[in-house]
Chain A
Amino acid sequence: MSSFKRNLKIILFLMLYSSTVNSHHSFAVEFTAERIIEIKGVVTEIWFRNPHVRYYIDTINKSNKIENWDVRTSSPSLLVRKGWTKKTIQVGDEISIIGHPGRDDRKLLSVISIKLPDGSSLGQDYPDSHELGEKK
């Protein structure tokens, strides 16, 4: 795919998929707004509380080593209104997430969409992999 087409897809993706994050503080300070990546891994811990709901995810990196990611989404009261409760994702679940990565290569991810083991999505509809310009 040409870089033009790939960039166009990223732009279209950004236009179609708004983040589920409603930042309590300055998103731009911690996360890279211009980048979207995808990670896949196993949920090791869930923190369903303010100031942000967090999922800790183990992934395998290119060097075949385990990396633990701090995956953040919105406030519990905003998520539960949409039926996304603390039981929706369980420890041990294998999930895929797309989002904005942390700055300075920190293993942080601000969620746009999560794909659950049964293939359903949380947040925005999960896009096809080929729509992403960058993958983890």
Chain B
Amino acid sequence: MTHNQKIKNKLKSLKLRQFSICKTLLLIIFISSSSFAQDSIEGEWMLTLNGGKAQIDNSVVIGAPTDNKAAIIGQLSLKESNGNWEGHVEGGPVEINVEGDAIEILIDSRDLAGFVFFRRLTGRHSDQGMSGTFTIEGTTETPEAGGHWMATRKTSENINLPPQPVDISGIWTPAPGMDFRKYSMDLTDKAQTWHDDYINHYDQPNVRCVSPGIVAIVAWGAYPFEILESNNRLTFLYEVDSEIRRIFMNDKQPPEYFPPSAMGFSNGHWNGNTLLIETQLLEGNVRDFRGEPISEGARMHEQYNLSKDGNTLTAVITLLDPDNYKKSPIRRRKWIRNPNTEIYPYECDPDSFFRQMYNENKLDMYFDRSHRRQID
């Protein structure tokens, strides 16, 4: 073998080795990048939908501006287990399909009139973000168009800031946008068993003029409420059900034997210019109009923020009730300052509710179901 041949063979062997090393490196990069892409989308994301017409009927609320571009916001949680993806939006389960960098999310929602429909999100993901388009499936009474969506990583919010209170006193009218109005939640077996036998138009508290409680009221879509500020106290006056709520801003503890109630006992404090409210001593009740239960001992966390111009108030409302929910349900609300209205009277009389059952011979059935109206 000549010297040149030796060199050629050496180079050939080197090239083969290099090629083999390159191949191995590429394989490692491919495997790690593909598994990184799959694993990396696990965790908490903030989902924003733009272009969907807002889920509020402008005609029912005086003073609410038309805002067809109001964004809908929700917390998306993704988890992979044995090759299967599990997803939640605002604490409720959603269908997830992930193939390569393609992702599809199917989210059920309930519109203001009670129609259940779906938003189908399709798009692409990376470990940095997701985006795509969405369409509407099913009947909605408040028409909604599809549009674009995007998701970014949720950032940590655990920062303690010195109090910087802002003036949130005044009358606030519901405004379009923000809330997903997620329909189904991830119920525990106990809650699911209870809920399976729930009949909304017989068991829902407000159909017989009984307060459904603060968790439902704070997320109600149509009625205004008023905030009064006084020394160490905020007072919220809700038009719906004429409910009154006191928020103690001085760490006041409930008096001895203070009973659980529909409105509970609320303490608040300012974290920077964010108002945080914790409510305890809630009685057994329902979370919203679907009738999912709230246990005695549940707590509610609210976070209120005022816009820079002082005219828009937003809230994120989280129910903490592990007895009934595997993941905490989240609602989001937005209100516009409205000095042109007042809180109107809200008298309620259950006569027509009982008359209908009388006419349909269902009164016996109703009273046989009394246990359904007691939640522990």
Contact = CB atoms under 8 A, between A and B. Distances in A.
Interface of A: 14-15, 18-30, 33-34, 47, 49-52, 54, 70, 74-78, 80-82, 106, 124
B333 to A, nearest CB: 15
Contacts of A33: 114-115, 139, 141
B213 to A, nearest CB: 13
Contacts of A81: 62, 341, 344
Contacts of B240: 75
Contacts of B290: 26
B251 to A, nearest CB: 35
B141 A14 contact: yes
Nearest to A52: B352
Contacts of A18: 57, 59, 113, 141-143
B143 A80 contact: no
B207 interface: yes
A20 B59 contact: yes
B116 A28 contact: yes
Interface of B: 57, 59-62, 112-116, 139, 141-143, 199-201, 204, 206-209, 221-223, 239-240, 289-291, 341, 344-353, 356, 360
B116 A14 contact: no
A52 B348 CA distance: 9
A49 to B, nearest CB: 5
Nearest to A108: B356
Nearest to A112: B141
A110 B318 CA distance: 32
Nearest to B239: A77
Contact of B206 (A20, A25, A77): A25
Contacts of B199: 29
Given A19-B57, A22-B112, A26-B291, 7 more contacts: A18-B59, A23-B112, A25-B289, A27-B115, A50-B209, A50-B347, A50-B348
B62 A29 contact: no
A46 to B, nearest CB: 11
Contacts of B116: 28
11 contacts: A18-B141, A21-B113, A25-B201, A27-B114, A33-B141, A51-B206, A51-B348, A51-B353, A75-B346, A78-B222, A80-B344
Contacts of A19: 57, 113, 141
Nearest to B61: A78
A29 B201 contact: yes
Given A27-B113, A27-B114, A77-B344, A22 B222 contact: yes
Nearest to B62: A81
A47 B352 contact: yes
Given A34-B139, A78-B61, A26 B346 contact: no
A78 B61 CA distance: 7
A133 B173 CA distance: 36
A78 B62 CA distance: 8
Nearest to A74: B60
Contacts of A52: 352
Contacts of B59: 18, 20, 82, 124
Top 5 closest pairs, chain A to chain B, by CB: A27-B114, A50-B348, A77-B344, A26-B200, A25-B204
Report which residue of B60, B200, B347, B348 has the largest number of chain A beta carbons within 10 angstroms of its beta carbon.
B60
Contacts of A22: 57, 60, 112-113, 221-222
Nearest to A27: B114
Contacts of B341: 81
Contacts of B222: 22, 75, 78
Nearest to B206: A24
A90 to B, nearest CB: 18
A54 B113 contact: no
Contacts of B112: 22-23
Nearest to B142: A18
A26 B291 CA distance: 9
Given A19-B113, A78-B60, A81-B341, A54 B352 contact: yes
